[in-house]
């Protein structure tokens, strides 16, 4: 059985797979990651193959202890330390200058590296057991909806993974926020599990990087990232449409009054809480995408706190 409960024995087996150059999918507080030994370039190449991921898209390196930053990065300044101390372990990724220890394939040839210390207990135990940093993108085929359960990983990558550690549903549900610290000022490359408001409370103001097709810094910035296969349209406001199409689904923020107009309704948060909505986002999208619908309508959510990350994912999922 590829999907395994995270017993001590399973963690030891998973750590042995990582040490041997294999691939282990594991839960983090954000989404499931597809992990390999970050210091082993051949193991990291397997990640790109398994995901059909373009080689220009660099990987995040996961660590167990803050002081590993000094091995992987050059010039860890006060701002980096403040952010790490405030938000780690947790859903924040820092981009810093890379040390020679980090293989080129991990950073796709960039001279910077993205690092984070995850908060999920299974991820921490695996990192401790493997005793090496673990490079891990989200465990989905490139461009598709990120996995928030072990079953999502199994459905999407199945045989390509040596082992899937099952930690249940990811509590945060959207990927980490990525902050680039290499420009002398903090730049947000991806909205995610730590809100911009919380980051700004530590570093003052944060520049929000605009996606640029010419220079994609974080391919999470690619327009069609996180896409379901079914067409997705964001409604202008709550219930601005009564669909004529019989096979229309609704991704609702709160419990809707007019559910009968849709063949499937998924509710992100019955009480309208953006944190709960983020935790449910990708599971709801997976279910809608599997339902054989012609179109998925998505309600907008308030764009504060984690609502910003949710709207970012929805805009990218909405194809032109
Ligand atoms: O929450 C997360 O961050 C999850 C879990 C597994 O940790 N990981 C994740 O990885 O979302 P991935 O590969 O799906 O997204 C990582 C993003 C990509 O858009 C990549 O381009 C960006 O991080 N990235 C990695 N290294 C970078 C660098 N040196 N400079 C700029 N962006 C970088
Ligand atoms: Mg991803």
**Gap from CA of 146 to ligand 2 centroid (Å):** 6
Structure confidence by residue, pLDDT tens digits, 213-253 = 444 555 555 656 678 999 999 998 765 556 667 799 999 99
pLDDT of the residue at 25? 98
Question: What percent of the chain is predicted at pLDDT more than 70?
Answer: 92
Decide the pairing of beta strands 177-180 and 163-165: unpaired
Q: 137, 150, 187: which to mutate for ligand 1, most atoms within 8 A of CB?
A: 137
Give me the helix-helix angle, 274-289 and 307-317, nearest 10°.
20
* CB of 138 shorter than 6 A to ligand 1: yes
134 in helix, strand or coil? strand
Per-residue CA distances from 150 to 21, 34, 98, 169, 220 (Å): 21, 11, 31, 8, 22
Ligand 2 centroid vs 59 CA: distance in angstroms? 9
Ligand 1, atom 6, residue with closest C-alpha: 33
Average pLDDT, integer, range 190-196:
97
93 lines ligand 1 (CB under 6 A): yes
Counting Cα atoms < 13 Å in the Cβ hemisphere of 128 gives: 10
Per DSSP, which regions of the chain are E strands?
3-4, 24-26, 33-37, 60-62, 73-74, 92-98, 112-116, 134-135, 163-165, 177-180, 187-190, 207-208, 231-234, 248-252, 264-267, 295-298
Beta bridge pairs of residue 180:
95, 187
Q: Catalogue all structural domains in the chain, each as residue range(s) with its CATH number.
A: 3-208 (3.90.870.10), 232-317 (3.40.50.11030)
CA 145 to chain centre: 10
Report pLDDT for 212. 46
Atom of ligand 1 at shortest distance to CA of 34?
6
Of residues 204 and 222, more confidence is placed in: 204
- On the CB side of 58, CA atoms within 13 Å amount to 22
Q: Which atom of ligand 1 is nearest to the CA of 175?
A: 1
Instruction: Say if CB 63 and CB 133 are below 8 A apart.
Output: yes
* C-beta 218 within 6 A of ligand 1: yes
Query: Which tops the pLDDT comparison, 57 or 232?
Result: 232
Q: What is the pLDDT of residue 258?
A: 81
Residue 236 pLDDT: 86
283 pLDDT more than 70: yes
Three-state DSSP state, 27: coil
pLDDT for 18-40, tens place per residue? Answer: 999 999 999 999 999 999 999 99
Q: Give 107-140 pLDDT, tens digit per residue.
A: 998 999 999 999 999 999 999 999 999 999 999 9
Helix (H, G, I), strand (E, B) or coil at 148: coil
93-94-99 Cα angle (round to 5): 125
Mean pLDDT, to the nearest integer, of 203-215?
Answer: 73
Please report the beta strands in 169-319, taking only residues with DSSP state E, as ranges in sequence order: 177-180, 187-190, 207-208, 231-234, 248-252, 264-267, 295-298
Ligand 1 atom 22: residue of nearest CA: 218
* pLDDT reading at 207 higher than 70: yes
Q: Averaged over 272-284, what is the pLDDT?
A: 95
Lowest mean pLDDT among 113-117, 210-214, 262-266: 210-214
Please, which residues have CB within 8 angstroms of residue 155's CB and are 6 or more apart in sequence?
none
CA pair distance 117, 140, nearest whole angstrom: 20
Determine the atom of ligand 1 nearest the C-alpha atom of 62: 7
Could you tell me which residue, 171 or 56, shows the higher pLDDT? 171
């Amino acid at each position: 059985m590829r999907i395994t409960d995270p017993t001590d024995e399973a963690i030891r087996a998973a750590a042995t797979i990582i040490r041997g150059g294999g691939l282990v999918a594991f839960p983090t507080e954000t989404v499931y990651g597809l992990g390999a030994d970050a210091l082993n370039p051949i193991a990291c190449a397997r990640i790109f193959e398994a995901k059909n991921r373009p080689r220009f898209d660099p990987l995040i390196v996961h660590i167990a202890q803050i002081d590993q930053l000094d091995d992987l990065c050059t010039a860890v300044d006060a701002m980096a330390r403040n952010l790490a101390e405030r938000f780690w372990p947790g859903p924040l990724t820092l981009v810093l200058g890379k040390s020679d220890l980090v293989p080129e394939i991990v950073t796709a040839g960039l001279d910077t590296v993205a690092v984070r210390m995850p908060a999920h207990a299974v991820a921490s135990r695996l990192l401790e057991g493997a005793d090496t940093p673990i490079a891990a993108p989200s465990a989905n085929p490139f461009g598709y909806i990120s996995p928030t359960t072990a079953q999502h990983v199994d459905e999407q990558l199945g045989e390509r993974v040596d082992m899937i550690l099952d930690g249940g549903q990811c509590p945060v549900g959207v990927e980490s926020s990525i902050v680039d610290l290499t420009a002398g000022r903090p730049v947000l490359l991806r909205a995610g599990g730590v809100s911009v408001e919380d980051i700004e409370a530590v570093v003052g103001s944060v520049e929000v990087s605009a996606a640029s097709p010419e220079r994609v810094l974080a391919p999470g910035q690619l327009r069609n990232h996180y896409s379901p296969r079914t067409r997705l349209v964001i409604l202008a406001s709550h219930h601005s449409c009564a669909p004529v199409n019989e096979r229309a689904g609704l991704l609702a923020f709160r419990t809707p009054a007019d559910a009968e107009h849709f063949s499937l309704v998924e509710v992100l948060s019955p009480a309208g809480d953006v944190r709960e909505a983020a935790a449910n986002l990708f599971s709801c999208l997976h279910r809608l995408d599997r339902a054989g619908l012609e179109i998925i309508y998505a309600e907008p959510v308030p764009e504060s706190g984690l609502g910003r990350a949710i709207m970012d994912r929805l805009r990218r999922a909405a194809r032109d």
